[in-house]
Chain A
Amino acid sequence: MSTTQPTGAAPIVIVEDDPNDELLTKRALSRLNAPNPVFVLRDGQEAVDWLIARCDAARAEQADRPAFVLLDLKLPKLDGAEVLARLRGNPSTRHLPVVVFSSSDAADDVQRCLEAAANAYVQKPVDYPSYRDAVRVIAEFWVRLNRSN
């Protein structure tokens, strides 16, 4: 797990087990020069445990609540849709913004995630400029514009 000292800014959480995509997403985020720390979780179980603990701590005002989670679907231990279902089943994480970010555009993947109350479903663009743009647009919306979290 990447750790960053608390800065007072809401962290951005990437749940991703592919090191290439982790690198590309982190680089895309770093170009935004946002003050938000970035955490990376590499398997589904770790993601559920960490996010629930973090949001519990945030409720106790002992930590910053994540600004949003960028969730991949193909994950070890628990897949992305299952992670989402567990987050939605816990009062602390029920309203946590989760954007599914997957290379799959299969209709049933999209359907499953929307039924599990994903905030959005974005297919990972194949070429890097579009990938970078997608990450930028998602981050700008959930970090700068969104006030519902």
Chain B
Amino acid sequence: MRLMIERDPGSGGPPSSPADPRVLERALDRAVALGRLAHALASAQPGLEAVLQACATEIQRIVGDSVFVLLRVGDSDDLRLAAGAADAPAKIEIVTAMLQASPARVGEGLSGRCMAEGRPLRFEDMPAAMFERLIPPEKRPHVRDILPRAALSVPLTARGERIGALTLTRDAPPRFDPDEIEFVEAMCAHAAVAIANARLHHDVRRANAELHRAEGELRRTISDLEAFSSSVSHDLRGPVRAIDALTQIVLEEHAATLDPDATDLLHRVRGNARRMAELIDDLLRLARVGRLPLHRRRVDLTALATEVAAGIAAHRPDREVAVEIAPALTVDADPGLLRIVLENLVDNAFKFTARTAGRAHVRVEAAGAPGEGFAIVDDGAGFDPAHRTRLFQPFQRLHAQSEFPGHGIGLATVERIVARHGGRVDATGQPGSGARFVVTLPQQSDTNGE
């Protein structure tokens, strides 16, 4: 029995001359065989198992030896039998039994050692007894003639990583000649590339499936949350409305018996109920913008902003605000949702210029790439840039309620809508010197957006 490491000077076979027609013929045969292998691997079904099996089957067909592919399991040192091919099923059973008796690991066994050393190893003139003891006594007579007498393992290396080993076993003749080994190595190089690609493909698909699953889960969670907040808001509305109504009834129908203090307190109760009702309506709107289907198209922003600003100005007749809207602005957006964005931003601009001395100014102008964004600029109260990120969070407010009333939902709604368009909203400003909100809505070929 000999255990040999390839490329040691003593293992060379008889020198053969390139002019020898038998040598040429054999070289030609092998070139054809390599071509066949490459073709078989290229046309194998996608998927790691199919490619592994194609490697084993094709190499078995070409060389006639039994072929076993062992692959490293994940990042561990364990090797698993990933594919096998032989001209008799019993030959595969013998090797399977052997691997069961002593599982292969990197550095152990022929395959494991060839992997660890990174070069072909062979094991020749193996005694039959080595395998016989692995086989139930009653079966031994049937397998005596097909027990492996020689084995050759070649490491499978892809992208510099040793991913496994390909092992040939044969019952006769009991040795491999160096020429054969070189040929098997060439085939293994092909196989390793195909296996690595299939693995990569497999990994990408698995990562994709995982991503898909996580995305579905996230969508469900968001949708549950929205349904929850929507139903909570609906249920809160009723009692709040009742508080408002009942307080009003007391104020109207018991006015004669209420002293001024009680009247004042009841008015405060009503004020709170109303504020809460508005807050609930805002929350419902915020939940709704996440659920509404998105239908993007080219929108005339100039016209829409003009309409929205006129509506807000009509609502605040006490305010004198010069509104200036740049001509010919367009964006790709859902018109209904874009209107909500503009209503919130323009209304904010009106609100936060309430204390601006003299005539306030609000401007809607182009920003960013043409057709992909706009800015709304005011000369109002501005904000401390240190708190910029809090602007877009629900219920976060940077001003006292007495100074500028609000619920802190408007900009969160804007942010939500813009994010659904794959865009972003940013704000710059300084206390006392106005604010500038920039909305970027990148154009998308996918107009569905869902």
Contacts and interface: CB of A to CB of B under 8 A. Distances in A.
A127 interface: yes
Interface in B5-58: none
A20 B244 contact: no
B351 interface: no
Interface in A18-76: 18, 20-21, 23-24, 27
B238 A128 contact: no
A20 B245 contact: yes
Contact of A128 (B237, B239, B248): B248
Interface string B252-290: 000000000000000000000000010000000000000
A128 B277 CA distance: 13
A126 B249 contact: no
B241 A126 contact: yes
Nearest to B249: A27
B248 A103 contact: no
Contact of A20 (B242, B248, B277): B242
A129 B248 CA distance: 9
A27 B242 CA distance: 13
Contacts of A103: 237-238
Contacts of B238: 18, 20-21, 103
A24 B245 contact: yes
A121 interface: no
A86 B215 CA distance: 45
B225 to A, nearest CB: 21
Contacts of A20: 238-239, 241-242, 245-246
Nearest to B245: A128
A131 interface: yes
Interface in B223-253: 237-239, 241-242, 244-246, 248-249
A103 B241 CA distance: 11
Dominant secondary structure at the A interface: helix
Contacts of A24: 242, 245
Nearest to B239: A20
A18 B237 CA distance: 12
Interface residues of B, number: 11
Contacts of A131: 245
B377 to A, nearest CB: 35
A81 to B, nearest CB: 18
Q: Give the most central of B239, B244, B245: most A CB within 10 Å.
A: B245
Task: Assign chain A's interface to a size class.
Answer: 10 to 19
Contacts of A127: 241, 244-245
Contacts of B248: 128-129
A126 B242 contact: no
B251 to A, nearest CB: 10
Contacts of A126: 237, 241, 277
Contacts of B239: 20
Contacts of A129: 248
Q: Give the most central of A18, A24, A27, A128: most B CB within 10 Å.
A: A128
Nearest to B281: A126
A58 B166 CA distance: 95
A103 B237 CA distance: 10
A24 B242 CA distance: 8
Interface in A98-146: 103, 126-129, 131
Nearest to B242: A20
A21 B396 CA distance: 34
Contacts of B245: 20, 24, 127-128, 131
Nearest to B247: A128
Q: Give the most central of A18, A103, A126, A131: most B CB within 10 Å.
A: A126
B287 to A, nearest CB: 15
Nearest to A127: B244
A129 B244 CA distance: 10
Q: Give the most central of B241, B242, B246: most A CB within 10 Å.
A: B241
A20 B237 CA distance: 12
A131 B244 CA distance: 12
Nearest to B274: A127
Contacts of A23: 246
A18 B239 CA distance: 10
A126 B244 CA distance: 9
Contacts of A128: 241, 244-245, 248-249
A127 B240 CA distance: 10
A128 B244 CA distance: 7
B281 to A, nearest CB: 9
Nearest to A31: B253
18 contacts: A20-B238, A20-B242, A20-B245, A20-B246, A21-B238, A23-B246, A24-B242, A24-B245, A103-B237, A103-B238, A126-B277, A127-B241, A127-B244, A128-B241, A128-B245, A128-B248, A128-B249, A129-B248
Given A20-B238, A20-B245, 13 more contacts: A20-B246, A21-B242, A23-B246, A24-B245, A27-B249, A103-B237, A103-B238, A126-B237, A126-B241, A127-B244, A128-B248, A129-B248, A131-B245
Interface of B: 237-239, 241-242, 244-246, 248-249, 277
List the 5 closest pairs (A to B, CB-CB), nearest first: A128-B245, A20-B242, A128-B248, A24-B245, A126-B241
